[in-house]
Structure 1
Amino acid sequence: MKKFSFYIAFLCGLFLFLGMGLVQAYEPNVSTNAAIAPNSTLVTSDPATIQPLVEPTIDQALDQAGGNAESLVNSKPFAIAASDDSSEDADEASDLPDLQPFDKVIKKTQKISGLFTLYRNKETGKLYAEIKPGQLNQNFLATMTLESGIGESGLYSGLPTGDFLFQFRRVNQNIHFVVPNTYFRTRAGDPLQRSLDRSFSDSVLASLPIKSIHPKRKTVLVDLGPLLLNDFASLSPVVSWMLESPYSIDSNKSYFGPAKAFPFNVEIESVYGFSGGGGEGAPSYINALPDSRALTLRVHYSFSELPKNNPYRPRIADDRVGYFITAYQDFSDDNRREPFVRYINRWDLQKQDPDAALSPPKQPIVFWIENTVPLEYREAVQEGVLMWNRAFEKIGFLNAIEVKQMPDNATWDPADIRYNTIRWFNSFDSAFAMGPSRVNPLTGEILDADIIVDGNFIRYLKQGFQALVSQSQPSGQPSGPATAKNLCALGGVQPRYLRAMQSDSAIAQPAIPPAVARIVQQTHEQDACYGMELAHQFAAGHLSLSLLQNAMPSGAEMQKYIHQFMRELIAHEVGHTLGLRHNFHGSTMVPPQDLNNTKLTQSQGLVASVMDYNAANLAPQGGKQGDYFTEVVGPYDEWAIEYGYKPIIATVPQAEIRGLQAIAQRAPQAHLAYATDEDVIAGLDPEVNAFDLSGDVLLYSQWQMDNAREMWKRLDKRYPVAGESYSEVRDVFDTIFFYYLGYALNANNFIGGQSLSRYHGGDAAGRLPLEPIPVEKQRQALALVQKYVFNEESFQFSPQLLNKLAPSRWNHWGTNVPVFNLDYPIHDRVLFLQSIVLRDLLSADRLSRLQDTELKTEAGKALTLPELFDTIQTSIWQGVVRPSDQPMKFSSLNRALQREHLNLLTAMVLRKREAPEDARTLAWYELRQLHGSLSDTLRKQGRKLDTYTKAHLEETRDRIAKTLEAQLQTN
């Protein structure tokens, strides 16, 4: 199994994004800015003079202002001075005996003037950089982008691989490339700064020998080869891990690509040739490579000056509103309530006319649609970007965001930090989109953004569903979208069935090399990734249109579906580039009965936020179909933009606090609830999910499971069409299968679930941050699981359909033709689904929460552990626990589920499975009760039972007896 799944954090899980920031103080790998407009003059300032503000709490700020909030506007801000730990002065002109004359070193080179003047020798391949004395010990921004990939296993074109603040520091005869430590700060001029300098280290990433010093300019000349051709981006361990084979950079195959210099930035491309692909356990080949022994990757480096003389003011974060964070620890005041200072990441957006109710910005946020985007999707892409202008208009900005088309003959590179782009790429084995941005780690100001979209989202619709279904899978498990190593999954939100499996320790996470972990963390910190599960949802929606609405592939309804999907996908990623994190509470705004009322949804939105992973809106059987995806950004989106971008008259962040708190205190209002990646992963709140919809998640889930069952029926009658392969039927069957499983798991979250809010004290009278789900709702969810998962009638397929499920017989590169189990393993498939739901239902976390809930709820109003255990056992062993007069007969599907239930209870009793002690006792009790019921059944009906059933019951009784008599294993 390729390690690609774990990397869309290079994705999505390499890089993430799988919104938590490189820690929080330093999120270099995330946002970039259109603030530096092409063909325009950028007014900048000395980076060293940028004074990151260290704000006190609101109480402290008011105390300093004498209790007068207005005085805060004129209060002196806190600041931090740039540290200078170089061992020599930058303007030192001492002659170094081993240096060659400047003119001799640059002889036969091409001079490229800019921020750093470059000298390129085309004969030797050398690339030199000339650094001015005043540029030493100053802050610059470095960004790295994987400009070309291999289209497989997480190595995809356009992925950000890191960005950070750096300095050139002279140490003796070398120039150190240093990443300064921005995590710990104090007031400018505070003596404590000396202590911080000794307590915390900067990171010296490279030491470059000085080649020459100009005799007049006193500039320093260094060779960039040792820095940018020696795996500066740490790709070797990433490539080796992703491709499951050792690879290393071959210096003979590596060289500099295009190099350009501009007044405020330098753009350099490194071409890395990798050799390897051998060794024990190495794959026979990489599908996307013509020869797995070698590959080439191009990395684009941007070195840019930070904005100078910039009036940008950092804005303090609030955990009720979902923004990416730039955070640091403030050592200037020991009386602070907590050490962290947190700024939101946002663009520097200012009105041209501050007094006008509606004014264009001084400098709009400009996105360029890359010339690689197919013509038929450019309109949807543009609409998705411009959807956000509605939110900005409500706070006084006219046309805050603009969209331009990159010309076909453009000479600039989309990775150039001066351009914000929407890029299209293609891959062999994935489907994802990302909206990373790069920020100033001192202030949180977004400086650049580049959205990337995998063309496979659309290809899966137009070329079938084979790409969604892996041809190799673990024994007994069905193939499906997003295997255990989907990098989006690594970065945070995983497919629901994988989260259930991993919570049960069914899948062991492989050890991740530090270089991969760094990129994965970056992705996770940015929540910036749509992964394979979105492609699966999209494909399932397409199937629904085809099977349930008879929509033609090229018909108007299908084109509407694709257009709306692409528009919301782009709007979601643009939201990330504006600084917004995921909001997985956004999909629960509209009541189920109003989902298809376009008069309502097209005015207020289908969802509260496009920052959710919103499911396609598919009407229930017999219902009218409305919009599939939202037409407008929702009320949460508008509220979040107000918090981040509303102009507030103040000179320092502290003076903004009153206005910001007034905005954030509206959190309890309808449709402003916020919950992000870590809330989904916790699985506590049943209304916080990826790919759910409506204000009644249980009802919508039931609708979609009914739709899935109807799709299976029509698949039997209508597929394959003349001329198509029967393997298409198998692929479609599995696509519906995973759609069904995803919605079945939604019900589990209600059992032992709690509503979790981010309200602060005083925000909502009578509301608490944690509120157990009403017991009636939990019982409703349990009944849904019994009907749609544990009842074998939900999986009754005609023999004709099952015998259509033939595998593909193509055998060439890029395929994995099965040799064994050519027929469809229907028992394994159904048991896989039931097992995932049952194991999740009896997970240690859920059982512990149920036990705790009994103390957090009034007597008689909690779903207790005995009720859960008894309900499950009664449902699965119905004929034994509650026998009828008629001889019982268990089908093969019943027997398989009963064995799985027996295995789980046995594992609890024998301490081979994590569980609260009361749950172990109840498992013992249920087994004892079941043993008695089995004995009674065999005594009364033994002669009437068919052989299958009798053997099954006797074997079960025997296993239970041995379990109850077994010696306990201690941990």
Structure 2
Amino acid sequence: MIKKLTAVGLVAAISVGCQSQGKLFGKKNDQEAVSASASAKEESGKTSYNKLITSEAKSDKGMFTTHFVDDKLYFEIPLDLLEKDMLLVSRIAKVPSGFGGGYVNAGSKVNEQVVRWTKRGDFVDVKVISFKNESEEESPIYKSVLANNFSPILYSAEVKAYTPDSTAVVVDVSSLFEDEVAAIDGLSSSLRKRYKVKKLDKTRSYIESAHSYPKNVEVKHVMTYEAEEPPERGQAGTISMLMNQSMVLLPEDRMQPRLADDRVGWFTVEKYDYNSDELKSDEYEIIRKWRLVPKDMEAYKRGELVEPVKPIVYYLDPATPKKWRPYFKQGIEDWNVAFEKAGFKNAIIAKDPPTAEEDPEFSPEDVRYSVVRYVASTTRNAMGPSVIDPRTGEIIESDIIWYHNHLRSYRNRFMIEAGAQNPAARTLNTPEAEIGEMMRMVIAHEVGHALGLPHNMKASAAYPTDSLRSASFTQEYGLTPSIMDYARVNYVAQPGDEDVRFIRMMGPYDLYAINWGYRYLPEAKNPEDEKTTLDAWILEKAGDPVYEFGSGYGGVDPQAQRESLGADQVKASEYGLANLKKVVPNLVEWTSREGSGFEELDEVYSELINMWRGYIYHVITNVGGVYETRKTADQEGVVYEAVPQGKQRKAINFLTSNAFTTPEWLLNDEILDRIESDGAIDRVQNLQSRALDYLLDEDRLKRMFENEQRSSKDVYSAVEMMKDLRQGIFSELYQSKEVDAYRRNLQRAYVDTAVDYVEQVQAEGDEEIASTDVVALMRGELQKLKSDLNQRKNRTGDTITRYHWQDLIARIEAGLDPEA
């Protein structure tokens, strides 16, 4: 393989770039780096090491030796670590209450960048390095790549002393952590604006600790800002946060990267090769993965299961409650089944935290240890972040984060979505077996992220919807082919469906993806050598929906949606709604506790409404929807295909019957009279108007017009959809019936949405909308509705209904002709 050189450049937040095997441009070899700095003995005017680092110093030996002397922090940097690649990871270790609206939590990573410590005369500079753009050293274009990717200097410090043996320099790095350095700051520009931050208060900003380990240095420092509007009033015009800076030495022996393929879901690193034979820079991606190498290569080649040289080990946080530890461990080690598909046994191991006697050096901050952290927080979430070598995509370490109150989310969801079918779900005290299994699968999901796998929201559409009512099917295959899908509880199963599985689990796609990403290919000398084998594995599974990948972003493909179950979204939502209608009358009983109020009832009822909304949105996505099947040019068939018109009509019929009729079942007086004095009408209006807005989204309507032109098949046109929708929403008009308050709100929302399109063009001259058929469609529908209203407005004896029809006519006239 030809050696490639990587140019250096600014990295805002490293999630990109790797380079092929070879020497980096601008990087001196070890001998050159040492000899360039070996003149330390000849330097003059420096403080004696022993006078600078006194006996009072608090020192910690490791990659760099750190010294606290009075209120100053010194790094003692070995000369042989100058010019070495290091990953600087900035995390928020502690945050004030309410920070970021509750979405920025302790442990959140704010930046990740590769740096090199370089000596420049009497100074040491910290340079930020990019591995995104590369070129061959011998190529003429290499000079241009270098010139257009110049390394910025993040920080510079004067050399204060040399060690007595002249093997290291000593620099004062206090200001790096006490001053405001944007590249490692925890306050983004948006948060500064939100909280009206004025300045950093240096009198209340300080270094809390510095610890050095064999391959990393960890510094914690408090940053205090003056802010006019801090997250909460009681914070007295102040925002203080504890930052954690990790400096991680990247490996000299680089892992061989694996080229990404968007037909199999992986987190990736992007890069550009300017020596491509194509008439442009070659843009490609490599996957993020741990380095797993077989211990016994010959046995591995024979197809035997072999342990890796270095397994993936996760330690549990000492703060993890002991009753939950077995479930956490199971969730981690569940992935061994997938790794066995890739030829490895015991590839991933879960361990209890070691005691001080077992491992006196153990620390969750040490890059040698990957930890499942248990965070005492009201945040209802879990995360699976990892730290990678951006040169190769190798995952260096990972910390899974579990927030305590995530238990609450699963308790509520289990009651809402399984309460009609499963007696174990009918309590706020979910039995340990069920909540433990849910925790196990959450940990497995987050570990999947930490192994390199993104969400696969398309997986759930691989299974026939009615199969999720089968005990034999769900017990063997789970709810979806991938644990990386959002499909947490089986809401399709109905009362009487015995022994079905209610909680997600790992599936066949997960085993396939791990084999594709982690199977070691001994004969491959470079990433290109692997491509034929990797492509063959994909083509072997092509056409089988179990092995398809879809991220779910974009909201276009109805088969790739969060929390959706089964191939038929309409049928699944019908089943889900049927269960919700059985749950609602029981919520008072299931959530009541003697001596307590109705806060829990209010919370569960609110979450139930959100799930109803989710079922509705799953169906809406079919209207104007487009299926995406990822393919390459050597595969037959198209990538994009419009949802058949029959399914789109079925979706509109469902919406007319379920989303756009008054949900009497939801308006349960036994609940409402306990949680609120009023608000039901506004709540239903909000639900229905938002669903209507989503259905009549401009991009959806434009796709429907385009599908009419592109397809030779019979398609569901936008005109037909609007006609069906109008007749459903205004059924009282066409049947001469009175309209209740909920439906009046919905009908006003329909008119207002259509009028908004017309008024937007009239008021703002919006050329983008004006140049489409959307406005013409809305004008036509408003004219038709106005005509129908004029013909039928007096066919009801209900006064408010008649006033309502007259009001809609006035709204339409004002919208179509605002000057009249």
TM norm structure 2? 0.89
Q: What is the deviation of 1:897?
A: 0.8
Distance in 2 (alpha carbons) for counterparts of 1:449 and 1:360: 21
Q: Does 1:879 align with 2:751?
A: no
1:28 CA displacement: 6.6
The 3 A distance-change label for structure 1 pair 195 and 834 is same
Give the 3-state SS of the residue equivalent to 1:624 in structure 2: coil
Indicate the residue corresponding to 1:464 in structure 2: none
- Measured in 1, the distance between the counterparts of 2:197 and 2:805 equals 52
SS at match of 2:652: helix
Q: What is the CA deviation profile of residues 644-702 of structure 1, one whole-angstrom value per residue up to 9, with x for unaligned ones?
A: 1112122222221211111232352424444454xx33111001111111222221112
Q: Does 1:781 align with 2:651?
A: yes
1:853 corresponds to: 707
CA offsets 1:248-284 (integer angstroms, 9 cap, x no match): 5433333333433333333x3323041434x2x5566
Q: 2:452 aligns with which of 565, 571, 579?
A: 579
Retained in 2: the 8 A contact 1:371–1:408?
Answer: no
The secondary structure found in structure 2 opposite 1:666 is helix
CA contact (8 A) 2:420 2:494 kept: no
Counterpart of 1:724 in 2: which secondary structure? coil
C-alpha deviation, 1:905, in angstroms: 1.6
Matches within 5 A, 1:159-174: 159-174=108-123
Matching of residues 97-496 of structure 1 within 5 Å: 98-108=45-55, 109-121=57-69, 124-153=70-99, 154-214=103-163, 216-217=165-166, 219-232=168-181, 233-237=184-188, 240-241=191-192, 244-246=195-197, 248-266=199-217, 268-277=218-227, 279=228, 285=233, 291-294=235-238, 296-309=240-253, 312-335=255-278, 338-356=281-299, 357-407=304-354, 409=356, 411=360, 412-428=362-378, 430-458=379-407, 460=408
Q: Give me the whole-angstrom Cα distance separating, in 1, the residues matched to 2:237 and 2:532.
A: 61
The answer on whether the counterparts of 1:368 and 1:404 sit within 8 Å (CA) in structure 2 is: yes
Structure 1 residues 403, 665: CA separation in 2 closer, same or farther (over 3 Å shift)?
same
Distance 2:355 2:548 in 1: 41
Tell me if structure 1 keeps the 8 A contact 2:289–2:395. yes
Pair 1:790-2:660 in alignment: yes
Counterpart amino acid of residue 323 in structure 2: E
The amino acid that maps onto 2:341 is K
How many angstroms apart in 1 are the aligned matches of 2:189 and 2:104?
A: 9
Show CA shifts across 1:557-580 (max 9, x none): 733331222111111111111111
Higher RCO by CA contacts (8 Å cutoff, separation 6 or greater) = 1
Tell me how far 1:113 sits from its aligned partner.
2.7
Partners of 1:656 and 1:718 in 2: CA distance: 56
Q: Is the 8 A contact 2:457 2:562 kept in 1?
A: yes
Match of 1:664 among 519, 538, 541: 538
Partner SS, residue 463 of structure 2: coil
1:408 is displaced (CA, Å) by 5.6
1:919 to 740, 759, 774: 774
Deviation of 1:365 (Å): 0.6
Is contact 2:516–2:534 with CA below 8 Å preserved after alignment?
yes
One-letter identity of the residue aligned with 1:852 = E
Q: CA RMSD in A?
A: 3.1
Report if the CA contact (8 A) 2:372-2:399 is conserved: yes
Does the 8 Å contact 1:584/1:689 carry over to 2?
A: yes
> How far apart are 1:197 and its partner, in Å?
2.1
Q: Tell me the CA shift for residue 598 of structure 1.
A: 4.0
Aligned residues of 1:25 and 1:183 also touching (Cα < 8 A): no
The alpha-carbon deviation at position 242 of structure 1 amounts to 8.8
Aligned match of 2:582: 710
1:152–1:424 distance in 2 versus 1, CA, 3 Å = farther
Retained in 2: the 8 A contact 1:711–1:736?
Answer: no
Cα distance between partner residues in 2 of 1:323 and 1:611: 11
Aligned length: 788
Distance 1:136 1:747 in 2: 58
CA distance in 2, matches of 1:676, 1:209: 52
Q: Does 1:905 align with 2:789?
A: no
Q: 1:607 to 1:544 in 2, by over 3 A?
A: closer
How far apart in 2 are the matches of 1:399 and 1:596? Answer: 34
Q: Provide the rounded CA distance (Å) in 1 between the counterparts of 2:663 and 2:18.
A: 64
Cα-to-partner distance string for 1:864-892 (whole Å, 9 max, x where unaligned): 11111111111111122x235xxx21111
Q: Is the 8 A contact 2:18 2:393 kept in 1?
A: no
Partner SS state of residue 705, structure 1? helix
State the alpha-carbon separation in 2 of the partners of residues 937 and 899 from structure 1: 17
**In 1, Cα distance between equivalents of 2:577 and 2:533:** 46
CA contact (8 A) 2:92 2:109 kept: yes
Verify: 1:623 aligned to 2:497, yes or no. yes
Cα distance in 1 for residues equivalent to 2:326 and 2:58: 42
Q: Deviations over 1:599-654 (max 9, x none)?
A: 333333431111112231132244335222234x2121111111111121222222
Q: 2:481 aligns to what?
A: 608
Letter in 2 for 1:558: P
SS of residue in 2 equivalent to 1:628: coil
Q: Distance in 1 between matches of 2:370 and 2:68?
A: 28
The Cα shift of 1:596 comes to 4.2
Q: Distance in 2 between matches of 1:205 and 1:581?
A: 32
Output the amino acid matched with 1:840: Y
Cα distance change on mapping 1:105 and 1:193 into 2, 3 Å: farther
The code of the aligned residue for 1:395 comes to A
Partner of 1:953: 805
Which shifted more, 340-349 or 906-915?
Answer: 906-915
Cα distance change of structure 1 residues 553 and 247 upon mapping to structure 2, 3 Å threshold: farther
Task: Report what 2:5 is aligned to.
Answer: none
CA contact (8 A) 2:581 2:666 kept: no
Which residue in the other structure is 1:737 paired with?
609
Query: SS state of the match for residue 259, structure 1?
Result: strand
- Which amino acid is 2:82 matched to? L
In structure 1, what is the equivalent of residue 3 of structure 2? Answer: none
Task: For 2:758 and 2:246, locate their aligned partners in 1 and report how far apart those are by CA, in whole Å.
Answer: 59
Q: Which of 731, 738, 761 is residue 633 of structure 2 equivalent to?
A: 761
TM-score (norm 1): 0.76
SS, match of residue 208 in structure 1 = strand
Partner of 1:892: 741
Question: Equivalents in 2 of 1:27, 1:400: separation in Å?
Answer: 34
Q: Which residue of 2 aligns with 1:472?
A: none
Q: Name the CA distance, whole Å, in 2 between partners of 1:25 and 1:365.
A: 32
Q: CA deviation at 1:786?
A: 0.6
Structure 1 residue 114, shift from structure 2 partner? 2.3
For residues 483-528 of structure 1, give each alpha carbon's deviation from its aligned partner in whole angstroms, at most 9, with x where no partner exists.
xxxxxxxxxxxxxxxxxxxxxxxxxxxxxxxxxxxxxxxxxxxxxx
Where do 1:36-47 residues align within 5 Å? none
Q: Within 2, Cα distance between the matches of 1:642 and 1:873?
A: 51
Gaps of 5+ in 1: 1-23, 32-50, 55-76, 461-534, 807-822
Q: Secondary structure at the match of 1:451?
A: strand
SS in 2 for 1:639: helix
Residue type of the alignment partner of 1:112: D
